[in-house]
């Protein structure tokens, strides 16, 4: 670095101290930053207290004193380096990761702070004062860092330059801090018990617009309150108004004693505060952002290490080539050192390469989280999710699923989850998560599992109102507190385990239920030897973990028949959508005529619409004749006709008179009779009638000669024979015929209508191109076929019976034609036989279990009879029937044992 001493450096300006502090929107979150530092320093306790001081703004000093590991002078110096943290690691359980919490948190609370710390026979000060910078008009950040030897109280300053620096630092501290002499400074170190620990003092507090401090330390002598929150506002949770309530749930597994103004905080484990808790394991591959960043970082580090190793190996080889067998000793020593350095760097590169590969493989592994839900029967108005990161609270009372909609559905349910750093990265102020998209995905997943929990506890089945009334919620107002009637208080207390933390070993103990414990104030120094449970009344006894029942997210299961019916419904729905796509849109009467071809335009110029004769067009008419323009009114009538033609019965006579001059007569069509398609032509129609249009078709060849039949336009049993472009015709629009079970959808032409007949005749024979709308309709049809076929294959694979004639892979490769010929009846018959066999096996096993239970019951009855006879023979005064039932014998035995014990 010496060669760069003359270059310019980026400097941290004084204004950044204020900018950095504004990221803490939630003031208690800023206080929690200093509590987090104590926890990360392995502190067993932290005292948060205030000291009245009229000379400073706000009138008091806010102090944070812990018994953690403390800092030596070198570690204390790293505190002023913004962004540097020795705790940053992917698998670290420490909360701090950014090296910014102390600075941003303290600067949000007050204007200045001074830190006292002890470690390894040294004690140091870190002094960061905005008042000093403003008074001295200094733009860059200057932080005095004096250090002393703990035994002699002498400053650690060997050279004259260091002595001068020390004196300057002491002058700044005594001038701008609350402590005006070195004696007062050293008295602060005496407050740190033991050989290590840290004391942070914040002063010149931030004020509200009315001139009062933001933190109220006078209303409650053992708490710190938000001064700008109305204490009577029930909509604000206690954790957002009281620092004592907030620190009680700050950690998911509290292992540090927290004192506020000398009074111990009764920390809570949320899992022990819930009625009917349930845990759900959630696995997902969606949380990749953090993993991808860490994998990319590991890959980059592995590359750098590989380059260093190759460079060192190259230097070692070059040196080896230069050093001969009789080289001087110093050259041989240099060679061995170069080879050792190359070997060390190679090992480091191999390790980092393996780490990078491991992190790359972990990208494909799903992340597993534990969702815990339970009913908050103590305060039902307080519900929502608590989101922790590395055991530290980030978000609280986040409503998910039905809770966001209001109402009583899922209301009163509290839930929590601990998200590791590798899954979601918190923002540097620890009040939200950096990746908002993945966080929203987490909330959606918790909403799904919340719905499952609501089903599992069965509150809706027994009645929501009745459920809450059982615990004393008698008011119709949801936000009202429960009744304080003793019977309801006892009922609520019986349903929640009473857990308390030992003041010595910090283990959690669950006390047996006792009515005397209701509303009982336990001493702050409660320890294990006060536990009435004889198995857990000593600190050496293991802590019993809470056994939370596990639940499972259940997907809706349907029978094979329901699955098949759903598939048919989907096919029918797709069919209707396809028919809508095939129909040209109905045009308004006032819409101008659409643009026509040049031949049609010339015809319109030569004669008006009224002069166009209504001629009878037959199939024998040449296809190359010029297209006669059709007026908008006629097209509109045809479109309206198409709308009304659906649903016409297949057989029967027309409701109106036959139109002998209809242009549809003579058209070649195909019709399906008894599953077979036959050719014919239209011989009669009622197109001029008021009812739906129908055609009478006479067939060319049929077992019953000259069989003719009436068809409703729109029937799936009627189509125009498809004509390909190669034959001089066009690709006709297609439709789906109704699908029967076990048979694929058939591609057929749509039912002929007046418009479809005209369009067929009006296309010149020489045209061999496909109309764009027909092509797009055809492509859409194919997409629908593929979608339906894919769903069909999925159902078949899902219900595939054991030992079926084909496997899942073969089903996945089946074409539409293969699916049409699939033996569906035999498939479900085979599936049903398998289910019956399975049920039969279960029934057989159940019968065997029942027989074993009956045998055991009979043996027990015989033993009881023998015992009664034995008792009768020993003592004739015993009044018992040798054939007495089991309950009577059991009661007699209990009485005998009790008498024997008393004797």
887 vs 624, residue with greater confidence: 887
Domain that holds residue 168: 12-268
Place of tokens 């140091």: 124
* pLDDT above 80: residue 764: no
Q: What pLDDT is stored for residue 654 in this prediction?
A: 55
What's the whole-number mean pLDDT along residues 554-573? 76
Residues 275 and 306 in one domain: no
Q: How far apart are CA 420 and CA 424, in angstroms?
A: 7
User: Which CATH number goes with the domain that contains 502?
Assistant: 3.30.40.100
Structure confidence by residue, pLDDT tens digits, 72-86:
998 888 877 754 444
Which of 78-82, 458-462, 709-713, 898-902 has the least mean pLDDT?
898-902
Per-residue pLDDT averaged across 235-246, rounded?
93
Whether 843 maps to a domain, the answer reads yes
CA neighbor of 122 nearest in space, from 146, 105, 104, 138: 146
Tell me the C-alpha to C-alpha distance, in Å, between residue 872 and each of 47, 866, 867, 900.
70, 10, 9, 17
Q: Is residue 867's pLDDT more than 90?
A: no
Helix or strand (DSSP H, E) at 633:
helix 632-644
- Calculate the average pLDDT of the chain: 77
Q: What does the pLDDT read at residue 779?
A: 60
Of 109, 108, 89, the C-alpha closest to 98 is 89
Total domains in the chain come to 6
300: its two tokens: 């980059």
Across 497-515, average pLDDT: 90
879 to 24, 138, 870, 892: CA distances (angstroms): 79, 101, 13, 9
Q: How far is the C-alpha of 734 from the C-alpha of 737, rounded, in Å? A: 10
Say if residue 399's pLDDT is above 90.
Answer: yes
Between residues 163 and 735, the one the model is more confident about: 163
**Residue 723: band (very low, low, confident or very high) from pLDDT cuts 50, 70, 90:** very low
Same domain, yes or no: 68 and 111:
yes
**For residues 190-206, average pLDDT:** 93
* 277 and 263 both lie in a single domain: no
Question: Helix, strand, or coil here: 220?
Answer: coil
Whether 596 maps to a domain, the answer reads: no
Q: What is the number of alpha carbons within 13 Å of residue 83 lying toward its C-beta?
A: 2
Give domain status of residue 556, yes or no.
no
pLDDT band at 14 (very low <50, low <70, confident <90, very high): low
* Higher-confidence position of 860 and 674: 860
In a shared domain, residues 204 and 99:
yes
690 and 636 share one domain: yes
Q: Among 279-283, 520-524, 745-749, name the one with the lowest average pLDDT.
A: 745-749
Closest CA to 36 of 251, 252, 266, 267: 251
Q: Which of 795, 811, 842 is the last residue of a domain?
A: 795
For residue 460, give the CATH number of its domain. Answer: 3.30.230
Strand ranges in 171-325 using DSSP code E only, listed in sequence order: 197-205, 215-216, 225-226, 257-260, 263-264, 275-284
DSSP 8-state symbol, 242: B
pLDDT for res 178:
95
CB-side neighbour CA atoms (13 Å) of 283: 4
What sign does the dihedral 591-597-602-606 (CA atoms) show?
Answer: negative
Total residue length of the chain? 903
| CA 622/CA 765 separation, integer angstroms | 9
Predicted confidence (pLDDT) at residue 6 exceeds the cutoff of 70: no
Number of H helices, E strands in the chain: 23, 25
Q: Three-class SS of residue 650?
A: coil
Residue 7 lies in a domain: no
* One domain, residues 300 and 313: yes
23 and 125, same domain (yes or no): yes
Whether residue 355 sits in one domain with residue 382: no
pLDDT at 386: 97
Q: What is the pLDDT of residue 301?
A: 87
Identify the domain boundary among 450, 480, 510: 480
pTM: 0.58
pLDDT > 70? residue 239: yes
Q: Residues 132-158: pLDDT tens digits?
A: 988 998 888 888 999 999 988 899 988
Do residue 729 and residue 862 come from a single domain?
no
- Residue 263's domain is classified under what CATH number? 3.30.565
* 818 occurs within a structural domain: no
On whether both 87 and 225 belong to a single domain, the answer is yes
49 and 126 share one domain = yes
Residue 698 lies in a domain: yes
DSSP string, 132-180: HHHHHT--B------EEETTT--BS--SHHHHHHHHHHHHHHHHHSS--
Q: Is residue 442 part of a domain?
A: yes
Q: Among all chains, which residue has been given the structure tokens 């006060």? A: 530
DSSP state of 213: B
Torsion of CA 767, 773, 775, 778, to 10 degrees: -130
Res. 501: pLDDT tops 60: yes
Q: Tell me: do 69 and 143 sit in the same domain.
A: yes
**555 found inside a domain:** no
Q: What percent of the chain has pLDDT over 90?
A: 33
The rounded distance, in Å, linking the Cα atoms of 465 and 487 is 18
Each residue of 450-500: pLDDT tens digit?
Answer: 999 999 999 988 899 999 999 999 998 888 999 999 999 999 999 998 999
């Amino acid at each position: 670095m010496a060669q760069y001493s003359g270059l310019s450096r980026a400097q941290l300006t004084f204004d950044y101290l204020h900018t950095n502090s504004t990221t803490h929107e939630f003031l208690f979150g800023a206080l929690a930053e200093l509590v987090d530092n104590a926890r990360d320093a392995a502190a067993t306790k932290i005292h948060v207290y205030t000291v009245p001081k009229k000379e400073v703004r706000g009138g008091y000093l806010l102090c944070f004193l812990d018994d953690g590991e403390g800092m030596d002078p070198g570690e204390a110096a790293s505190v002023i380096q913004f962004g540097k943290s020795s705790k940053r690691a992917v698998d670290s359980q420490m909360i701090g990761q950014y090296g910014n919490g102390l600075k941003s948190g303290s600067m949000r609370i007050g204007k200045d702070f001074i830190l006292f710390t002890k470690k390894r026979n040294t004690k140091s000060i870190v002094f960061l004062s905005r008042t000093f910078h403003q008074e001295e008009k200094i733009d860059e950040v200057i932080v005095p860092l004096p250090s002393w030897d703990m035994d002699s109280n002498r400053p650690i300053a060997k050279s004259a330059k260091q002595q001068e620096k020390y004196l300057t630092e002491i002058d700044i501290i005594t001038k701008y801090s609350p402590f005006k002499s070195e004696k007062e400074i050293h008295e602060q170190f005496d407050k740190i018990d033991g050989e290590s620990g840290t004391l942070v003092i914040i002063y010149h507090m931030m004020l509200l617009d009315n001139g009062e401090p933001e933190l109220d330390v006078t209303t409650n002598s053992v708490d710190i309150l938000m001064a700008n929150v109305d204490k009577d506002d029930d909509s604000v949770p206690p954790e957002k108004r009281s620092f004592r309530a907030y620190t009680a749930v700050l950690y998911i597994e509290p292992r540090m004693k927290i004192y506020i103004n000398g009074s111990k905080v009764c920390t809570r484990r949320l899992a022990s505060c819930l009625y009917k808790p349930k845990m759900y394991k959630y696995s997902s591959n969606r949380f990749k952002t953090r993993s991808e960043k860490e994998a990319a970082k590991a890959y980059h580090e592995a590359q750098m290490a590989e380059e260093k190793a190759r460079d060192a190996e190259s230097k070692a080889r070059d040196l080896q080539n230069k050093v001969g067998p009789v080289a001087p000793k110093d050259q041989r020593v240099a060679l061995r050192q170069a080879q050792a350095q190359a070997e060390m760097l190679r090992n480091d590169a191999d390790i980092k390469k393996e780490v990078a590969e491991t992190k790359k493989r972990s990208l494909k592994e799903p992340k597993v989280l534990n969702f815990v839900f339970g009913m908050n029967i103590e305060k039902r108005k307080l519900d929502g999710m608590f989101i922790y990161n590395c055991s530290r609270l980030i978000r609280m009372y986040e409503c998910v699923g039905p809770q966001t909609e209001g109402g009583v559905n899922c209301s009163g349910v509290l839930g929590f989850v601990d998200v590791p750093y590798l899954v979601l990265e918190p923002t540097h102020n620890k009040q939200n998560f950096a990746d908002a998209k993945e966080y929203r995905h987490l909330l959606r997943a918790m909403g799904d599992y919340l719905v499952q929990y609501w089903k599992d506890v069965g509150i809706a089945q027994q009645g929501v109102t009745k459920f809450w009334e059982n615990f004393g919620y008698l008011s119709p107002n949801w936000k009202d507190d429960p009744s304080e009637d003793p019977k309801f208080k006892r009922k609520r207390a019986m349903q929640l385990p009473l857990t308390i933390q030992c003041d010595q070993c910090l283990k959690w103990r669950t006390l047996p239920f006792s009515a005397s414990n209701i509303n009982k104030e336990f001493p702050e120094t409660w320890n294990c030897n006060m536990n009435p449970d004889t198995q857990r009344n000593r600190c050496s006894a293991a802590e019993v973990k809470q056994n939370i029942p596990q639940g499972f997210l259940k997907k809706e299961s349907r029978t094979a028949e329901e699955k098949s019916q759903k598939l048919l419904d989907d096919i029918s729905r797709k069919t209707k959508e396809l028919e809508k796509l095939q129909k040209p849109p109905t045009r308004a009467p006032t819409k101008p005529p659409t643009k026509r071809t040049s031949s049609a335009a010339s015809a319109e110029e030569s004669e008006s619409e009224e002069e166009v004769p209504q001629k009878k067009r037959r199939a024998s008419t040449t296809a190359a004749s010029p297209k006669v323009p059709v007026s908008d009114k006629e097209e509109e009538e045809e479109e309206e006709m198409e709308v009304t033609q659906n649903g016409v019965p297949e057989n029967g006579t027309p409701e109106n008179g036959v139109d002998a001059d209809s242009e549809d007569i003579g058209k070649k069509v195909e019709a399906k009779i008894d599953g077979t398609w036959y050719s014919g032509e239209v011989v009669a129609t009622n197109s001029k009638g008021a009812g739906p249009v129908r055609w009478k078709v006479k067939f060319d060849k049929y077992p019953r000669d000259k069989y003719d039949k009436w068809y409703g336009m729109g029937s799936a049993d009627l189509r125009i024979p498809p004509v390909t472009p190669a034959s001089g015709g066009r690709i006709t629009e297609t439709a789906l015929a109704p699908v029967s079970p076990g048979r694929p959808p058939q591609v057929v032409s749509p039912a002929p209508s007046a418009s479809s007949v005209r369009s067929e005749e009006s296309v010149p024979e020489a045209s061999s191109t496909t109309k764009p709308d027909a092509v797009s309709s055809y492509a859409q049809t194919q997409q629908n076929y593929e979608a339906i076929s894919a769903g069909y294959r999925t159902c078949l694979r899902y219900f595939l019976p054991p030992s079926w004639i084909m496997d899942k892979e073969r089903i996945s490769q089946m074409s539409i034609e293969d699916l049409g010929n699939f033996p569906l009846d035999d498939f479900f018959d085979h599936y049903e036989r398998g289910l019956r066999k399975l049920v039969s096996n279960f029934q057989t096993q159940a019968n065997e279990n029942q027989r074993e239970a009956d045998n055991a019951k009979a043996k027990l009855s015989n033993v009881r009879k023998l015992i009664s006879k034995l008792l009768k023979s020993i003592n004739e005064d015993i009044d018992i029937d040798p054939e007495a039932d089991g309950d009577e014998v059991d009661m007699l035995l209990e009485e005998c044992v009790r008498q024997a014990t008393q004797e």
